[in-house]
Structure 1
Amino acid sequence: MDSSDLAGLTARARRLARAGERRILGIAGPPGAGKSTLAGRLVGALGPRAVLVPMDGFHLARAELARLGRADRKGAPDTFDAAGYAALLRRLRTPEPGTVVYAPAFDRALEEPVAGSVPVSPDVPLVVTEGNYLLHGEGAWAPVRGLLDEVWFLELDPDVRVRRLVERHVRFGRARAEAERWVARSDEANARLVAPGRDRADLVVRAVADPCP
């Protein structure tokens, strides 16, 4: 996406961030498409009128994934607390005067969720949330779409996206061969699950250049 696209998207987000009513904007898409980068840029442009609440804060902890036998599928739909994420969105939709809501974040260096990391003040008009499964219509993810005022689906050339994913895993400690195997087996399986949600989005954002990781 070029700077003019970003300007248009920022203007669209700014219209959602009008005072007086809490809105929630979702940014969905496959792994490596640049969702967190786009969300961060929007929130940075809007300043105190927006806050970023990532879906990845609802990853199950590593110890729980191991207990459930799902550690080798981390990132799949059933490796998140989807019901907890939906419950947080419901709470964010109806802010209580004087009450700050604390949302979790995800620490990529630790590969763990961190509770209470993101304060959401009741007077912030726009919450931006991003993640793979915002448009996934199955199981505990099904209610999420109805809790979002608008959802954008971000897509990127698959070859670029896969390269970015491999580099991300290497940057956070995996050997390159291991990173390539993980992307082929896990991340791309999740990308195929995410793809049908494109048709449920309010807007499809096509990245014509490689967004920053």
Structure 2
Amino acid sequence: MDTLTPQRRAPLNNGPVLRATLPELIARAQALMVPGERRILGITGAPGAGKSTVCAGLADALGAGAVVVGMDGFHLANRELERLGRRQRKGAPDTFDMGGYAALLQHLRAPDGQTIYTPVFDRQLEESIGSAVPVPPQTPLIITEGNYLLLEGGGWERVAAALDEVWFLDLPDELRLPRLLRRHEQFGRSPEEAGRWVDAVDQRNAELIGRTRERADLIVQLIA
């Protein structure tokens, strides 16, 4: 594998769809881990599809063999969104530092023997915190999760090019939307505010993300 100029294998068209339990996904992730090499697995899907839950489950099972690096750590700061007039569309593709995220993924592909520190998004602060997640050089698998891993246009292709495999989490809206509303309420929004945000922001983003589904290497329908 050429870590300096990574070329992710071409995604499959129209599939495949896999109905799997978390232990089965853990086994697939383990199969990506090769001693002495660095692989990057992407987990994508619409807001509320369960990306963070799956990533946490994988990381817990794989221990020191994997580190989760989230795209959300590259949210633009709220004051910058206000300057740009984009605070009410936070979460749209142009409200992220896509260039910084793509550059980090390229750096992670070619560790130079040093620990690389990556940012994390704090949902309670609604801000990113830099240098919060260490990635030791010997870690064989990086798991990165985010909405726009397979987006085309605006330079987002650089993100997909850095990934070895991408899984799209596919969850029906009748399950996804209540989960998303509960999450917004958990972090301080009233039920009315949560509903307005989901309708005005999250669902617009979900429609865009849904159009990237067939570019994934695997479409995952998680079985509880």
TM-score by length of 2: 0.90
Length, aligned pairs only:
206
**Which residue, 170, 176, 188 being the options, matches 1:173?**
188
Could you say what secondary structure the match of 1:174 adopts?
coil
Structure 2 match to 1:119: 134
Whole-Å Cα distance in 2 between the matches of residues 137 and 10 of structure 1? 28
Cα distance in 2, alignment partners of residues 9 and 168 from structure 1 = 24
Q: CA deviation at 1:140?
A: 2.2
Q: Secondary structure at the match of 1:156?
A: coil
Matching of residue 11 in structure 1 with residue 27 in structure 2: yes
- Structure 1 residue runs without a partner (length 5+): none
- Structure 2 CA distance for aligned equivalents of residues 156 and 192 of structure 1: 13
Amino acid at match of 1:63: R
- Conserved in 1, the CA contact under 8 Å of 2:43 and 2:146? yes
Cα deviation, residue 66, structure 1: 0.4
- Note if contact 2:73-2:121 (Cα within 8 Å) is conserved in structure 1: yes
1:162 aligns with 2:171: no
> In the TM superposition, what whole-angstrom CA distance separates every residue of 1:48-97 from its partner, at most 9, and x where no partner exists?
00000011000001110000000000000000001100000000000011
The one-letter code matched in structure 1 to 2:90 is K
Aligned to 2:148: 133
Per-residue CA deviation, residues 132-177 of structure 1 (Å, 9 max, x unaligned), is 0001111121211111000000011102111111111111111110
Post-superposition offset of 1:208: 4.5
Deviation of 1:180 after TM superposition, in Å, equals 0.1
State the percentage of identical aligned residues.
Answer: 56
Higher helix share: 1
Q: Could you say which residue in structure 2 is the equivalent of 1:31?
A: 47
Contact 2:39 2:141 in 1 (8 A): yes
Larger RCO (alpha carbons 8 Å, 6+ apart): 2
User: Is 1:149 aligned with 2:164?
Assistant: yes
Counterpart in the other structure of 2:7? none
Q: How far apart are the structure 2 equivalents of 1:138 and 1:194?
A: 13
Q: Does 1:193 align with 2:208?
A: yes
**Counterpart in the other structure of 2:118:** 103
1:83-94 aligned within 5 A: 83-94=99-110
C-alpha contact 1:70 1:79 (8 A) present in aligned 2: yes
Counterpart of 2:208 in structure 1: which amino acid? L
Distance of 1:207 and 1:95 partners within structure 2: 32
Partner of 1:59: 75
Moved over 3 A (4+): none
Matches within 5 A, 1:41-52: 41-52=57-68
Between the aligned partners of 2:20 and 2:74, the Cα distance in structure 1 is: 33
Instruction: Provide the C-alpha distance between the structure 1 equivalents of 2:151 and 2:20, rounded to a whole number of angstroms.
Output: 29
**Kept after mapping to 2: 8 A contact 1:30/1:132:** yes
Would you say 1:21 and 2:31 are equivalent positions?
no
